[in-house]
Chain A
């Protein structure tokens, strides 16, 4: 009995495999309507847009691959650098697109922009956003979302203690200290090595320090003011939720939602999650103001067209333009700040979403990260050193100096400082 069963299993399995293998050749042999391939990051607003992208042009099938930001950046970089024809649209932020543009991996959109300006009302897109998406004078990215950080705080706790939301960073520190208790930390801090650290330190470096680089892109963040800024960041970690060095946005959100912290900087796109009873214990208890002293990170992202794509560029442009037309963008307005002026100033939206007013002000006072293609690569080392300084593995000054050296060496390798 046994041999028969096993043989059957083996037979069945080999049939499955062979047929699957054969069918997998099919896409290569007969490409009727080749689907458009999109590589993208993943967060709620993008998922909403993904749906719109898929439905944008009726007889053009679209396939999206979505994954966490870090991974998507790696995959996109690998695909573009190897001039792969298998990718048509890629996700980019105001920093990452510069690398792509610098290397000629993405296609400028100016001609298509002019061509379809009327049809998609492209004039409505905010100039501030478009400026950030220009490299060498050319536009490369179709804007999809604007994201910025602002300040979350527990109104109920503040009211109880008769406190006002902070207007300066010093006030923020004092409030965090005041509300700090064993069961509930004063503030959240998202200092997981990588993107999170850069976001948090960007605020302090811009508001208290003098920024990251000078006009020639030499590091200046290790000078006195920068050191002071990072020392301030180190100081506030005393009132931060335990585990903050392994916390990225998600973990910080959980801390806020589970009543484990009283305030802190986070992205506007996450404001509504505070009021979702499936996720939050503190529904209705949070309010928002712009970051004290401004300087919070502004991030914009969108999609670009790969230079190596074999698809018709017009079609690709139509897909991304349709997905971001006013009607579609409105649907995403609860998850991010829309780049279109009509929506930005829409009173209905302001009334509908409690956090909108604060988000709009944050847009004015925020600042994007240094607009060099190598920001994320350089930032990777900088973020590690900052964490080392903050956790006391080295002094803050030493950490920043090592970071500056590494950054300078890296940029020199990439061709900076040649003149």
Chain B
């Protein structure tokens, strides 16, 4: 079927409508953040109103949410920078190991991904307190790196197993050590996949709530926890929460837009299974 203009056009309209519908909660959240409460919750909904950015100013400057943003960024970036290398190394190792032990390990990783978070939250707190690590960046980063391993190892392994055997054979014939095999042969090929893994690890670390609630304190509080603190008791808090909610999305959106190209390459490569 050659793409007929009418079909393409209708399809585009339909998908755009779907995308717009999908975005409604976000758009409405944004509108709520620039309205006074009296307008934000009016019945029927108000489209015409006087916008105010006072809540954005209040939450980011007066209530110092920029500090929490910094914490979130430090923790997420730190998590990705540590998690990705060690997961990639593990994935490489797993992809090269033929033993059934490696299959068992893989299955074990899958099981770990099933852990209900709540189950781990209290032991984490006890452990963190014992080692006096509550309210430090290391506690959060350590926890998040470990939690992130199963998914990332899986993901990277699936890129690694695509690498043809001869490449390794010719490398070892050339006298490469295993580490060189990893760095010079395998890594360059899966580089695009690294970006995909980075994006998902970043998302995971950035949006994490439950463990952040338990492991962070006033110095290291992250954005999701900070937002949850504006839950109730005064309508103004909701406008503030809305302003914070919009702001929290921006870094990730920017990250994705800036690194579009790398992501495309990674996903295009990974998608080739033909």
Chain A interface residues toward B at CB < 8 A: 10, 13-14, 16-17, 20-21, 24-25, 27-28, 37, 42-44, 63, 65-69, 71, 75, 78, 82, 84, 86, 248-250, 253-254, 257-258, 260, 273, 277-281
- Complex Cα distance, B203 from A299, in Å, reads 42
**Known pairs A42-B237, A253-B235, A281-B38. 18 more at Cβ < 8 A?**
A10-B81, A21-B78, A21-B137, A24-B220, A28-B132, A42-B229, A42-B231, A65-B221, A68-B228, A68-B229, A78-B125, A82-B126, A248-B232, A249-B232, A257-B41, A257-B235, A258-B42, A279-B38
- Shortest CB distance B32–A (Å): 12
Residue B154, interface by CB 8 Å: no
**Closest partner residue, chain B, to A259 (CB atom):** B43
Contact A273 B231 (CB under 8 A): no
With A20-B137, A24-B219 as known contacts, state yes or no: A249 contacts B233, CB within 8 Å.
Answer: yes
Instruction: Enumerate the 9 nearest inter-chain pairs by beta-carbon distance, A residue then B residue, closest first.
Output: A43-B233, A68-B231, A67-B229, A17-B78, A20-B74, A279-B37, A278-B36, A24-B137, A254-B41
- What chain A residues lie within 8 Å of B138 (beta carbons)? 21, 24
- Complex Cα distance, B228 from A71, in Å, reads 9
- What chain B residues lie within 8 Å of A28 (beta carbons)? 132, 136
22 A-B pairs with CB atoms under 8 Å apart are: A16-B77, A20-B74, A20-B78, A24-B136, A24-B138, A24-B220, A25-B136, A27-B219, A65-B221, A67-B231, A68-B229, A68-B231, A71-B229, A86-B217, A249-B233, A250-B237, A254-B41, A254-B235, A258-B43, A273-B235, A277-B38, A281-B42
Residue B218, interface by CB 8 Å: yes
Residue B238, interface by CB 8 Å: yes
- Complex Cα distance, B236 from A37, in Å, reads 26
- Complex Cα distance, B141 from A20, in Å, reads 12
- Complex Cα distance, B45 from A131, in Å, reads 48
**Closest partner residue, chain B, to A83 (CB atom):** B129
- Complex Cα distance, B72 from A353, in Å, reads 43
Residue B166, interface by CB 8 Å: no
- What chain B residues lie within 8 Å of A13 (beta carbons)? 77, 81
**Closest partner residue, chain A, to B121 (CB atom):** A78
With A27-B219, A65-B217 as known contacts, state yes or no: A44 contacts B233, CB within 8 Å.
Answer: yes
- What chain A residues lie within 8 Å of B220 (beta carbons)? 24
**Closest partner residue, chain B, to A269 (CB atom):** B233
Contact A17 B77 (CB under 8 A): yes
- What chain A residues lie within 8 Å of B208 (beta carbons)? none
Residue B134, interface by CB 8 Å: yes
- Shortest CB distance B49–A (Å): 12
- What chain A residues lie within 8 Å of B218 (beta carbons)? 37, 63, 65
- Complex Cα distance, B213 from A168, in Å, reads 45
A-contact bits for B66-110, CB 8 A (1 contact / 0 none)? 000000011001100100000000000000000000000000000
- What chain B residues lie within 8 Å of A27 (beta carbons)? 219
Contact B38 A250 (CB under 8 A): no
- What chain B residues lie within 8 Å of A280 (beta carbons)? 38
- What chain B residues lie within 8 Å of A254 (beta carbons)? 37, 41, 235
Contact A260 B43 (CB under 8 A): yes
The CB with the most chain B CB atoms within 10 A, among A13, A66, A277, is that of A13
- What chain B residues lie within 8 Å of A249 (beta carbons)? 232-233
**Closest partner residue, chain A, to B217 (CB atom):** A86
- Complex Cα distance, B81 from A28, in Å, reads 24
Contact A279 B129 (CB under 8 A): no
- Complex Cα distance, B190 from A140, in Å, reads 62
**Closest partner residue, chain B, to A184 (CB atom):** B43
Contact A250 B219 (CB under 8 A): no
- What chain B residues lie within 8 Å of A65 (beta carbons)? 217-218, 221, 229
- What chain A residues lie within 8 Å of B77 (beta carbons)? 13, 16-17
- Complex Cα distance, B228 from A75, in Å, reads 13
- What chain B residues lie within 8 Å of A71 (beta carbons)? 213, 228-229, 231
- Shortest CB distance A41–B (Å): 8
With A20-B74, A63-B218, A86-B135 as known contacts, state yes or no: A250 contacts B235, CB within 8 Å.
Answer: yes
- Complex Cα distance, B122 from A268, in Å, reads 37
- Shortest CB distance A26–B (Å): 10
Residue B165, interface by CB 8 Å: no
- Shortest CB distance A260–B (Å): 6
**Closest partner residue, chain A, to B70 (CB atom):** A20
**Closest partner residue, chain A, to B41 (CB atom):** A254
- Shortest CB distance B194–A (Å): 10
Residue B234, interface by CB 8 Å: yes
- Complex Cα distance, B141 from A279, in Å, reads 41
Q: Which of B36, B125, B230 contacts A82 (CB 8 A)?
A: B125
- Shortest CB distance A268–B (Å): 14
Contact A250 B238 (CB under 8 A): yes
- CB contacts under 8 Å to A, within B131-169, are 132, 134-138, 141
- Complex Cα distance, B122 from A260, in Å, reads 42
- What chain A residues lie within 8 Å of B81 (beta carbons)? 10, 13-14, 17
- What chain B residues lie within 8 Å of A68 (beta carbons)? 228-229, 231-233
- Shortest CB distance B104–A (Å): 34
The CB with the most chain B CB atoms within 10 A, among A42, A66, A279, A280, is that of A279
**Closest partner residue, chain B, to A75 (CB atom):** B213
A-contact bits for B15-42, CB 8 A (1 contact / 0 none)? 0000000000000000000001110011
Q: Which of B38, B129, B135, B141 contacts A278 (CB 8 A)?
A: B38
- What chain B residues lie within 8 Å of A24 (beta carbons)? 136-138, 219-220
- What chain B residues lie within 8 Å of A17 (beta carbons)? 74, 77-78, 81
- Shortest CB distance B257–A (Å): 15
- Complex Cα distance, B74 from A253, in Å, reads 38
- Complex Cα distance, B228 from A42, in Å, reads 11
- What chain B residues lie within 8 Å of A14 (beta carbons)? 81
A-contact bits for B224-260, CB 8 A (1 contact / 0 none)? 0000111111111110000000000000000000000
